[in-house]
Amino acid sequence: MSMPPQVIAHRGASADAAENTMPAFELAWRQGADGVECDVRLTADCQVVCIHDADTERVAGKLLSVENHSYADLQALDVGSWKGEEFKESRIPLLSELLAASPSGKQLLIEVKTGVEILPALLEVLDASTIQLRVVTIIAFDVEVIRSLKQQRPELHAYWLIDVQSNWLGRSKLKLDDVLETLIEIRADGVGLRCHSGIHREMVHAILSADLALNIWTVDDATDARRFATFGVTSITSNEPAAMLVALFER
């Protein structure tokens, strides 16, 4: 019998707290998540910050481009009130803050939302941290990010992200063999697939048999979580980690 999948909190416990903020990450850990996922971008002064979008309008109600503003500019923004009064004054955290706060043994998936230009700063932050690198996985849609990362730091774990619906089962019709060939060529340690009904047991088996890890995102439905668990996937990423833990482990 395969091990149950790890449950990773998508941008923290983002169904219950303001995404990509320390309160969201801390809540996910309290809920028992095996780890958290965050998104990272580079500020104008080369600080690695946790934010999904290229600008702050959605989470702060004020439009500032992340790459064109300093960390001080961005930290002045309240990025929590949109989610609820209890998250008022939440700030955009530095990745270094998340690394420092992460409990021992908890997984950390870091999604690079930019191109390879962020890698020098990202690696500097990781090297300055005391976090065990075995719990860190860098994830990205950009093949070149994964390729470059593994060329520079082969010991770091890295997953290539694929939107199954648009890039696999959609018009482009990626073939499984081509995906596996690319993963091996860029030296990825695994792949992250968007949750989709078209993901079947044979597909999962082929990926795992290639000695690759498999993460499914974003899984917020208990039936989906149980189905992927029976397939033997490595981990699932969810906005609702507490609910998925109940669904999988009744805990």
Give 33's contacts (C-beta < 8 A, 6+ positions apart): 7, 8, 9, 13, 106, 241, 242, 245
Is this model's pTM higher than 0.75 or not? yes
Digit-coded pLDDT (tens) for 30-73: 999 999 999 999 999 999 999 999 999 999 999 999 999 999 99
Q: Domain residues of the chain, as ranges?
A: 6-249
Please provide the CATH number assigned to the domain covering 6-249. 3.20.20.190
Digit-coded pLDDT (tens) for 129-155: 999 999 999 999 999 999 999 999 999
